[in-house]
Homo-oligomer: A and B are copies of this chain.
């Protein structure tokens, strides 16, 4: 009956190997030509698992990954990626999708998880998923909730820090895409760590991909990740980055 409070949770950090991580990040390049050899199934699935360990806003897991293995669909997907070699030669094509409406169901599921947990979770966390996510991510009937937020927020912000919340479909898309992109980076690094490579593609025909995958209205195609064994000449030149001080500001 009496569960232990989750506030007692301890999770010490294990030792890590920084240089091994640096090798993964530094050697990840967008690879645009792959060898024909397949990636073993268990490696692909493992990399997808690692994608889902990225942080996700309010833990609402607004991501989805479609691993396209059916040969006909895979060919149509490569065509929707404008038949670029990164798509046509890829052993694997994975479509990353962001969802702007699953937060409702996932809020309910969070409460279920708390109920079924062997730990006692704080009441404030339950209340967050029972009520606050509706205020945070809901736009309300006829988008009136969003309009109210747009009026109230700047006024409150004058007196105290007020969270900037999604107010329209655009804000919700940005919110869901952001979380999905974090997972995409895990996925691409995971392929590299496993000895394979990837290419994130944004040059694609979203209409055709939506149709191919029968995506619901609230889905946004974030990117198509091609993956496989790096072919000689698969990296199209040295990496180009502009001066660091253009991007890193210390204030």
Report A91-132 CB contacts with B as 1/0, cut-off 8 Å. Answer: 000000000000000100110010000010100000000000
Q: Which residues of B contact A109 (CB under 8 A)?
A: 242
Q: Complex: how many Å from CA A230 to CA B9?
A: 13
Report A62-81 CB contacts with B as 1/0, cut-off 8 Å. Answer: 01111111100100000111
A76 to chain B, nearest CB (A): 9
How many A residues are at the interface, by size bracket? 35 or more
Report how many copies the assembly holds: 2
A61 engages B242 (CB within 8 Å): yes
Q: Which residues of B contact A11 (CB under 8 A)?
A: 29, 235, 238
A21 engages B18 (CB within 8 Å): no
**Nearest B residue to A188 by beta-carbon distance?**
B55
Q: Which residues of B contact A249 (CB under 8 A)?
A: 64-67
Q: Complex: how many Å from CA A55 to CA B247?
A: 15
